[in-house]
Amino acid sequence: MSSPETQIPAAQTTARKLTMVEALREALREEMRRDDRVILIGEDIGVEGGFGGAFTVTLGLAEEFGHRRVIDTPISEAAIAGVAAGAAAGGLRPVADVQYGDFLFIAMDQLANQAAKLRYMSGGKISVPMVMRAPVGATTRGSQHGQSLEAFFTHVPGLKVACPSNPYDGKGLLKTAIRDDNPVIFFEHKLLYGSKGARKEAGGVEVLGHVPDQEYLIPFGQAKIARPGRDITIVANLLMVHRSLQAAKILAERGIEAEVIDVRTLVPFDWDTVAESARRTRKLMIVEEDNLTGGWGAEVAARIGDVCFGHLDAPIRRIAAPDTPVPFAPIMEKFYIPSMETIVATAQELVSNY
C-alpha cells in the first residue's frame, strides 16, 4: 500500500473555502502536474465548450494538459474501465470517469474480473494503479441515475473504495487514490459537489469546505470522528455524514451526545476507530443511502457485533434505503433516502430503551 506522507490539520493552514468539485479538480490538476503518467479518460470530460464531465470536475483540465492527457471517449463504459486497467498495467496511472455511478454495471466485468484480479492471478507480478470515479446518490433522477453502489465494490477483493463527504477529504483522498498502486473506486455524492452554472445541483448540502493551500494527502483506512460524543456512535459515509451531523445537533438539544464517524474509505476500513467508539458509547448505528439488504453497513454491524459483543448495551441498528429501486417523485425519494428525522428517532430510541 502506498503510504501518504502528510496530513495537515485544516486549522494550521491558510483557510480557503472550496466546493467538492473545485477540490477534486485541484487534486487532479496537482497530480497531473506532479506525474506525467496520470491521464484522465471518460465521456465529455475535455470537450471545448462542453461541461467538464457530468458534474464539471474536469472543467478546464484539457486546456492545461491537452487532449493527450484528457481523453474523451465514446459512450463505452466497459472499454473505459478496461482500457484504463490495461493502460495501468502498462505503466500509466489513469483516472477513469463515468457520468453516473449506475453505469458502472456496464463496466462490471472489467472492474471486478479484470482490474481487481490481474494482480492476484499473476501471482503478484502486475499492478493496476487506476482510479474509477463515479457519482452516486439519489437526486430526483429516478432509478438509473441515482443509486448508491458502494456495497457492490466493497465485496470485490482487490478493489479499494473511497467515499468522501467534504471537499477537504475529497481532495486528500483523491490524491491518495491516484498514487495508490491498486484500482480504487472513488464515489462522489451528487448533492455534495457544489457544481456551478448549468450543472448546479438542486438541494446541495453544505457544499463549501475548508481546503488548505498547502499540499496534503489523506491516508486510506482512517475514519474521522466528525463529531465526538459519549452516548451513541453513528457511522456514516457521503451524504449520510451530513444527515447524521444534523441529527446529532438535534439530539444534543435533547441531552444525547452522539458521536458521528465518517468512514472516508470502505476498503480499507478503519475497524479500530469504529470498534473503539462503539465500546466507549456502548451503542452503534450505521447510516447509509444504499439499499438495506447487503449494504456495507451490514458488514460493519456483523463485525462490530462480533468484536464488541460484551461491550454493547443495545442491538446494532441500521438505517438505509428500503429494498426498492430509487423512485423519481420527490415525495417518494424523500421517503426513500434516510432522513435526519429517522436518525434522530432511532438514536433516541436506542438511548432511551437500553
Partner 1 sequence: MNDSNLDSKQRLAIYRRMVLCRKFEERVYYLFLEGRLPGTVHQSAGQEASAVGVCSALAEGDVITSTHRPHSHAIARGLPVKSLMAELFAKSTGCCRGKGGSMHLGDLALGMLPAIAIVGGGIPLATGQALAFQYLGKKNIAACFFGDGAANIGTFHEAINMGAIWNLPVVYICENNKYGASTSVEKVMKVEHVSTRAAAYGIPGMTIDGNDVEAVHRAMSSAAERARGGRGPTLLELETYRFSGHSRSDPGHYRPQDEVAAWKQRDPVGLYEKALTDHGVLTEEAARQISASVEKELDEAVKFAEESPSPAAEECLSDVFA
Q: Give me the residues that bind partner 1 (CB under 8 A), please.
A: 1, 39, 68, 71, 73-74, 76, 78-79, 81-92, 94, 109-110, 113-114, 118-127, 129, 157-158, 160, 180-182
3-state secondary structure of 12: helix
- Tell me which residue of 175, 161, 85 sits closest to 130, measured CA to CA: 85
| Separation between Cα atoms, residue 30 and residue 139, nearest integer Å | 30
At its nearest, how many Å lie between partner 1 and the CB of residue 274? Answer: 21
Residue 259, all three cell numbers: 458521536
Residue 41 vs 191, nearer CB to partner 1: 41
Instruction: Please identify which residue in the block is written with the cell numbers 441515475.
Output: 145
| Separation between Cα atoms, residue 184 and residue 276, nearest integer Å | 27
**Exposed (0-12), middle (13-18) or buried (19+): which is 172, by Cβ within 10 Å?**
buried
Q: Is 189 an annotated catalytic residue?
A: no
**N residues, the chain:** 354
At its nearest, how many Å lie between partner 1 and the CB of residue 112? Answer: 10
Residue 5 vs 109, nearer CB to partner 1: 109
Residue 39 vs 285, nearer CB to partner 1: 39
3-state secondary structure of 268: coil
The residues, ordered by sequence, that sit 6+ positions from 117 with a Cβ below 8 Å of its Cβ are 158
Contact 136, 188 (CB under 8 A): yes
Catalytic residue from among 145, 155, 242, 311: 145
Residue 181 vs 276, nearer CB to partner 1: 181
At its nearest, how many Å lie between partner 1 and the CB of residue 125? Answer: 6
Residue 123 vs 255, nearer CB to partner 1: 123
Residue 267 vs 300, nearer CB to partner 1: 267
At its nearest, how many Å lie between partner 1 and the CB of residue 93? Answer: 10
Contact 42, 73 (CB under 8 A): yes
Contact 326, 146 (CB under 8 A): yes
Residue 118 vs 351, nearer CB to partner 1: 118
At its nearest, how many Å lie between partner 1 and the CB of residue 211? Answer: 28
Adjacent-strand bridge partners of 97: 42, 133
At its nearest, how many Å lie between partner 1 and the CB of residue 236? Answer: 25
At its nearest, how many Å lie between partner 1 and the CB of residue 201? Answer: 29
CB < 8 Å & 24+ apart, contacts of 45-52: 45/70, 45/71, 45/72, 45/97, 46/70, 46/71, 46/72, 47/72, 51/198, 51/199
The residues, ordered by sequence, that sit 6+ positions from 45 with a Cβ below 8 Å of its Cβ are 52, 53, 58, 61, 62, 70, 71, 72, 97
Catalytic residues: 145
